[in-house]
């Protein structure tokens, strides 16, 4: 009976150890040279789905082509926050202890700036029907309470979700 609760770990040759939690397999992925983030892969009790693993392996090389797709949406998400920082009545500036943080946020004016002010903090990959759904999660300098998520279906951008 106690074997039912035994931690199941498989060793992937590239992704390293993956630990099963229900239908999810958790591990890490080196998304950029020297930057490892959490990785959640959908699968069965035995292993992650093959298509999901293939997408995870492809993601680091795909990332440079995804950046120009994601970054304008990050900038669009930032705009109401930047406006709120300029309006003392909102009280949003009170969330920041250091005035230099506010100055850095207000200086973000291009999609590339928005990308640079964001950090990939995790990746989740699963299936929706026959499509592979990839979620790239971001921490940003302007929205410190939420992780943002860029959703892709078979590498086609779907949306930037403001709270994942």
- CA–CA dist 3, 112 (Å, integer): 50
Runs of H (alpha helix) within 32-49: none
Amino acid 1: pLDDT: 45
Q: Is residue 75 classed as helix, strand or coil in its secondary structure? A: helix
Amino acid 4: pLDDT: 59
- CA–CA dist 115, 137 (Å, integer): 12
Taking only the tens of pLDDT, the chain with its 164 residues reads 455 567 899 999 999 999 999 889 999 999 988 999 999 999 999 999 999 999 999 999 999 999 999 999 999 999 999 999 999 999 999 989 899 999 999 999 999 999 999 999 999 999 999 999 999 999 999 998 899 999 999 999 999 998 88
For residue 96, what is the DSSP state? -
Q: Which of 51, 74, 29 is nearest to 155 (CA)?
A: 51
Amino acid 3: pLDDT: 54
- CA–CA dist 47, 20 (Å, integer): 8
Amino acid 164: pLDDT: 84
The number of beta carbons lying within 10 Å of the beta carbon of residue 10 is 16
């Amino acid at each position: 009976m106690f074997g039912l609760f035994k931690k199941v770990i498989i060793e992937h040759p590239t992704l390293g150890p993956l630990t099963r939690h229900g239908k999810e397999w958790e591990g890490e992925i080196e998304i950029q040279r020297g930057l490892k983030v959490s990785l959640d892969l959908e699968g069965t009790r035995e292993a992650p789905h093959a298509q999901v693993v293939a997408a995870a392996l492809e993601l680091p090389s795909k990332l440079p082509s995804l950046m120009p797709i994601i970054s304008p949406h990050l900038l669009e998400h930032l705009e109401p926050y930047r406006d709120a920082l300029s309006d003392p009545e909102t009280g949003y500036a009170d969330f920041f202890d250091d005035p230099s943080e506010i100055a850095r946020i207000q200086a973000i004016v291009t999609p590339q700036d928005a990308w640079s002010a964001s950090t990939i903090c995790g990746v989740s990959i699963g299936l929706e029907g026959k499509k592979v759904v990839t979620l790239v999660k971001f921490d940003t300098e302007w929205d410190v309470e939420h992780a943002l998520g860029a959703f892709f279906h078979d590498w086609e951008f779907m949306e930037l979700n403001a709270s994942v």
